[in-house]
Amino acid sequence: MNFDLTDEQKSIRDMVRNFTRDVITPKAEEIDRENRFPEEHIPKMAELGLLGIAYPEEDGGVGADAISEAIAVEEITYGCAATGSILTAHYLGIDGLYLASNKEQREKYLVPGCQGEKLFAFCLTEPNGGTDVASMKTTAKLDGDNYVINGSKIFITNGAYADTLVVYAKTDTSKGSRGISAFIVEKGTPGLSFGAGDDKMGIRGAKTDEVIFENCVIPKENLVGEEGQGFKIAMQVVDRGRIGIAAMAIGLSQAAVDEAVNYSKEREAFGKTISNFQGLQWMLAEMETDLAVGRLYTYYVASLKDKEGFRLSKEASIAKLFTAEASNRVVNKAVQVHGGYGYMKEYTVERLYRDQRILEIFEGTSQVQKMVISSYLLK
């Protein structure tokens, strides 16, 4: 087992790191303050191949491995967690097509998505059914050569800004999760509309929307896979997507560690910089330990994503659970290192503190991850 990054992975890391420092980081505070979607970042990330970095070249992607994708998400999130969330949400959308679409759908939708010409959204969560996917109320009824979709989704990242939405709806309400199917819905389709954008605590630039379907008619060829396969597709997408959330947690934790270390070297108390005090040194050591362990396991699970046929539900949940909760500890300590200044908006750790909290909630709460992990132990 080789724990070293390859030359290609290092090259991608350096490219995205430089891009983040030059383009993403300088806008992060403004994006958060103005609660705006950073549309200017999308074409720039597309130029670097980031919107399809780990997808095959024949599908419009770069053809890099999943570790490279995790590194890219980590580096983008380091500079702006909202932009990192936009990127991972795009992957969730195109991943369903990558796993289950036919040749025509790949050419029409997946290729432009991987090339960054189209931004994607993943439409699964509903007002009364986040974790309980089988309880979804959105329906898709076949009517001749079309499906008619009715219902609504909430907390959909990229929702109103996406060119292509991958929507999960029930084609048979009597079958529970086995009656769920996946569909492609294009922006501008009659019957598709959006509610008011959410006003969130953190990752504010990663705009989330209510997505509303009122007799939304789409051609039947926009069915992804077969009827009844939607739940299986969605769960595979979520498993793989949890690696992206773990990578976000690593990037955010690294930012918090760096802010805390730099501040400790500058802030003086009792005649010397606070980095000289053992109590603070131990806090920094604990932060770095959480970060290092989380990064290594996240890269390991990312490597499993490239193994054909490998089901990584347990491993992805472990990565997501540990890194999300570790990032809470890391950012909390970073604020503490800053003392009263850590509570002020002029310091980056205040934003990191707010951005971090969602990592323990979306793509399955920490409690859901524990349910998944324990289910494998108790088989």
For the chain, the structural domain boundaries read 7-114, 120-230, 232-377
Q: Taking residues 43-67, what's their average pLDDT? A: 97
Mind listing the pLDDT tens digit for each residue in 227-240?
A: 999 999 999 999 99
Encode pLDDT of 251-276 as tens digits: 999 999 999 999 999 999 999 999 99
pLDDT at 379 over 90: no
Catalytic residue flag (residue 363):
yes
User: Is the per-residue pLDDT at 130 higher than 80?
Assistant: no
Q: Sign (positive/negative) of CA torsion 276, 75, 82, 368?
A: negative
Residues facing 129 on adjacent strands: 126
What's the CA gap between 52 and 278, in Å, rounded? 45
Instruction: Summarize the confidence of residues 81-89 as an average pLDDT.
Output: 98
d(CA 333, CA 82): 21
Give me the CATH topology for the region 7-114.
Butyryl-Coa Dehydrogenase, subunit A; domain 1 (1.10.540)
What span, in angstroms and rounded, lies between the C-alpha atoms of 18 and 1?
A: 29
Q: Does residue 131 surpass a pLDDT of 90?
A: no
pLDDT tens-digit map of 331-348: 999 999 999 999 999 999
Contact between 131 and 365 under an 8 Å Cβ cutoff? The reply is yes
Q: Which among 75, 227, 259, 363 is annotated as catalytic?
A: 363
CATH H-level superfamily of 232-377: Butyryl-CoA Dehydrogenase, subunit A, domain 3 (1.20.140.10)
Burial 188-206 (b: 16+ CB within 10 A, else e): ebeebebeebbebebbbbb
Query: What's the pLDDT band for 361 if we cut at 50, 70, 90?
Result: very high
How do 120-123 and 164-170 pair as beta strands? Answer: parallel
Distance of CA 99 to the CA centre of its chain: 18
pLDDT at 308 over 80: no
At residue 143, the pLDDT reads: 97
Report the top-level CATH class of 120-230: mainly beta
Q: What percent of the chain has pLDDT over 90?
A: 94
